Amino acid sequence: MTASRTLGSTGPRVSALGLGCMGMSALYGETDRAESIATIHAALDAGITLLDTGDFYGMGHNELLINEALRTAPAARREQALTSVKFGALRTVEGGFSGYDGRPNAVKNFAAYSLQRLGTDHIDIYRIARVDPDVPIEETVGAIAELVEAGHVRHIGLSEVGADTIRRAAATAPIADLQIEYSLISRSIEAEILPTLRELGIGVTAYGVLSRGLISGHFTRDRELAPGDFRGMSPRFQGENLQHNLDLVDALRKIAEQKGVSVAQIAIAWVASRGEDIVPLVGARRRDRLTEALGALEVTLTADDLAAIELAVPVGSAAGDRYPTNQMAHLDSER
């Protein structure tokens, strides 16, 4: 894979697909360490340079996993890898989430621990996962800007924020990208957020491109989820909502079959087709899923394909919110 895209007017050049590593440590059921590391290695071999993580994914587990994968990769691959790290989420001993901390000293404390766990001397893109409602975004971004100044961080990113916060952050320091959910069934960024990012020269790293597997073509109507799997609480995976959403996937499957590609490839290619400023992150946890995702880069969607996709999955056609109610409340992007 040689395709690459630049994140915003000030951000780094990265592979046209990024690898999201969250599911290798948490939220999607059982994990397999050896397969996770093999998947990261295969991604690096295929030319993926962007690895996305969060310090709270498995409470440090994900960063340590990336550390091991980078340490055991050939030096040339390791040197090309860029880390995108989220911080700010507070955890409980039981594994719950108890809020967000974006105070400047906390930001620097989070960064110190992440650098230690990753085993690197800098983080390429650093962002707070959700805005701390008690701390102005200028203070949080200002603290990351100081980390940039000191050489510990290269670029500043944002996550799940709306147009107002984007403007305030961009007035504080150069912002490389906004990480936000964007897929065929999560299109709320199109109204205001995407135009604001484009006006300000900020890129997008799109997550949930497969809606956490829901529109991957592999999610079955009777799939049993392990306790603690995020999808067990997600409105889109419940009862009638799930059946409705999988009907949309069946409509998409017909288009995929006609093109001789997979549903996941159509879904990833669709996000990639929305603009050169958008880099889809894929949450592949296994090498076979990664290979499928990489195949999306070879898929060209014609105007006819795009029209058929739009008809199969019209804007706003998904049933259910993208997060449970209590988590929707943390999304500055949905206000």
Considering the rule CB under 6 A, would residue 22 count as an interface residue with ligand NAP? yes
Binds ligand NAP by CB under 6 A, chosen from 39, 165, 186, 216: 216
Q: Indicate which single residue of 11, 12, 20, 102 sits in contact with ligand NAP (rule: CB under 6 A).
A: 20
Choose between 73 and 281: whose C-beta lies nearer to ligand NAP: 281
Quote the tokens at residue 32. Answer: 């397999």
Tell me the closest approach of the beta carbon of residue 179 to ligand NAP, in angstroms: 4
Which of 54, 53, 35, 43 has its CA nearest to residue 17? 43
Collapsed DSSP state (helix, strand, coil) of residue 326? helix
* Residues 87-126: x where in contact with ligand NAP by CB under 6 A, - otherwise, as a string: ----------------------------------------
CB of 303 to ligand NAP, least distance (A): 25
Using CB under 6 A as the binding rule, whether residue 245 contacts ligand NAP is answered as: no
Task: Tell the residue number behind the tokens 């997060």, with chain if given.
Answer: 323
**193 with 274: CB under 8 angstroms?**
no
Contact between 25 and ligand NAP by CB under 6 A: the answer reads no
Question: Between residues 255 and 284, which has the closer beta carbon with respect to ligand NAP?
Answer: 284
Residue 2 makes CB contacts below 8 A (sequence gap 6+) with 47
Residue 113: helix, strand or coil by DSSP? helix
Query: What are φ and ψ of residue 126, in 5° steps?
Result: -125, 135
Helix (H, G, I), strand (E, B) or coil at 55: coil
Of 292 and 305, nearer to ligand NAP (C-beta) is 292
Helices (H), 46-90: 61-71, 75-80
Confirm or reject binding of residue 198 to ligand NAP (CB under 6 A).
no
Which x/- pattern, by CB under 6 A, does the window 69-88 give for ligand NAP?
-----------------x--
Alpha helices in 25-72 (DSSP H): 33-45, 61-71
**From 283, 308, 320, 333, residue interacting with ligand NAP (rule: CB under 6 A):** 283
How far apart are alpha carbons 331 and 105 in whole angstroms?
23
Residues classed as catalytic: 57
**SS3 at position 177:** strand
Residues that bind ligand NAP (CB under 6 A): 20-23, 28, 52, 86, 129, 159-160, 179, 207-213, 216, 218, 264, 281-286, 289, 292-293
